[in-house]
């Protein structure tokens, strides 16, 4: 008997397959069809062994399906197969268009549900020891799309540059020059900035610099999308941790050397 006509939008997390939630895994196990994105590791499809797997990924300049086609595919497969799982990278409600797909399905009589995922906006910096908030450094954070539906830089970036908040920008590498210029105009050329490419994955790359020097660092490391841009004092936490760890190890070495020398003198 065919399952209920249903769409469940599921967040797969930022990339590392171990960061998917238990609820997401259970949902995949109940899927009849899985539509998955380019930023989803195909290894996760093992949790839906009996389902039909359809790649509908979108990358800049490369579209397996247009969004309208994805919407229609969700509805058609739900009506012919039953439970459709729409598997998306990160969290589907953070610039993931999950809400739009749920609305479209609901308008066509399909029941809908959502399973949140770890958002790359928070988890990718965290795994590089960069918190988005830190007492004494920042009291809030912005998460902004670097490119609007009109392919322009969000006006919120200019507003965020005036604040003391941490600014996390997704899909912003193509607008990096404009982004750093807005921060320069606010006198923040020395503000630390980190760019994390392919976050949580084996081919992850990280560039850390200041607003004034980040473009040179990007060129040096050849950083590109998919990447997260983090701007704010919290970026310093990463280096501070390393300094603390280095200082502790150096202290331990001195203590061990002193004890060793003492034992030698005592014979």
Q: Which fold, 121-237?
A: 3.30.950
| pLDDT over threshold 90, residue 161 | yes
Q: Is residue 171 annotated as a catalytic residue, yes or no? A: yes
pLDDT surpassing 70 at residue 253: no
Kindly give, in sequence order, each residue whose CB lies less than 8 Å from that of residue 51, ignoring residues fewer than 6 positions away. 28, 31, 32, 33, 34, 85
Q: Is the peptide bond before 226 cis (omega within 30 degrees of 0)?
A: yes
Which residue of the set 6, 37, 114, 191 is catalytic?
37
| pLDDT (mean) for 185-205 | 97
Comparing 182 with 64, which gets the higher pLDDT? 182
Average pLDDT over residues 238-260: 68
Q: Which two tokens stand for residue 95?
A: 């610039």
* Arithmetic mean of pLDDT, 195-222: 97
Q: Is 16 a catalytic residue?
A: no
When the pLDDT of each residue in the chain is averaged and rounded to a whole number, the result is 91
Average pLDDT value for residue range 15-44: 97
Q: Is the pLDDT of residue 194 over 90?
A: yes
To the nearest 10°, the Cα dihedral for 48, 117, 128, 147? Answer: 110
Instruction: Indicate if 191 belongs to the active site.
Output: no
User: 258 pLDDT band (50/70/90 cuts)?
Assistant: low
Question: Catalytic one among 171, 173, 188, 191?
Answer: 171
> pLDDT value at position 256?
59
Question: What residue segments make up the domains of the chain, in order of their start?
Answer: 6-118, 121-237
Convert the pLDDT of each residue in 72-97 to its tens digit. Answer: 999 999 999 999 999 999 999 999 99
* pLDDT band with cut points at 50, 70 and 90 for residue 242: confident
CATH match of 6-118 with 3.40.50.150: no
In the chain, % of residues over pLDDT 70: 88
Whole-prediction pTM value? 0.87
Structure tokens at 219: 């060129």
Q: What is the pLDDT of residue 243?
A: 76
Give the model confidence (pLDDT) of 102-119 as tens digits.
999 999 999 999 999 999
């Amino acid at each position: 008997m065919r399952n209920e006509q249903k769409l469940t939008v599921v967040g797969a997390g930022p990339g590392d397959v171990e960061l998917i939630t238990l609820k997401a895994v259970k949902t995949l196990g109940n899927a009849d069809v899985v539509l998955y994105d380019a930023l989803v590791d195909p290894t996760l499809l093992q949790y839906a062994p009996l389902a039909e797997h359809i790649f509908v990924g979108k990358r800049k300049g490369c579209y397996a399906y247009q969004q309208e086609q994805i919407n229609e595919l969700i509805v058609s497969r739900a009506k012919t197969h039953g439970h459709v799982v729409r598997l998306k990278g990160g969290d589907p409600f953070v610039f993931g268009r999950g809400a739009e797909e749920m609305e479209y399905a609901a308008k066509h009589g399909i029941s809908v549900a959502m399973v949140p995922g770890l958002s790359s906006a928070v988890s990718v910096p965290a795994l590089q020891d960069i918190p988005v908030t830190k007492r004494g450094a920042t009291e809030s954070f912005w998460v902004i799309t670097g490119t609007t539906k009109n392919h322009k830089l969000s006006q919120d970036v200019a507003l965020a540059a005036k604040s003391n908040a941490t600014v996390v920008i997704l899909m912003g590498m193509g607008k990096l020059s404009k982004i750093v210029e807005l921060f320069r105009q606010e006198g923040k050329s020395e503000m630390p900035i980190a760019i994390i490419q392919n976050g949580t994955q084996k081919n992850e790359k990280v560039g850390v610099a200041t607003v004034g020097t980040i473009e040179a660092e990007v060129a040096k490391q050849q950083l590109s999308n998919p990447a997260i841009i983090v701007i704010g004092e919290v970026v310093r936490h990463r280096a501070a941790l390393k300094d603390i760890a280095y200082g502790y190890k150096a202290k331990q070495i001195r203590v061990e050397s002193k004890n060793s020398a003492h034992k030698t003198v005592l014979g």
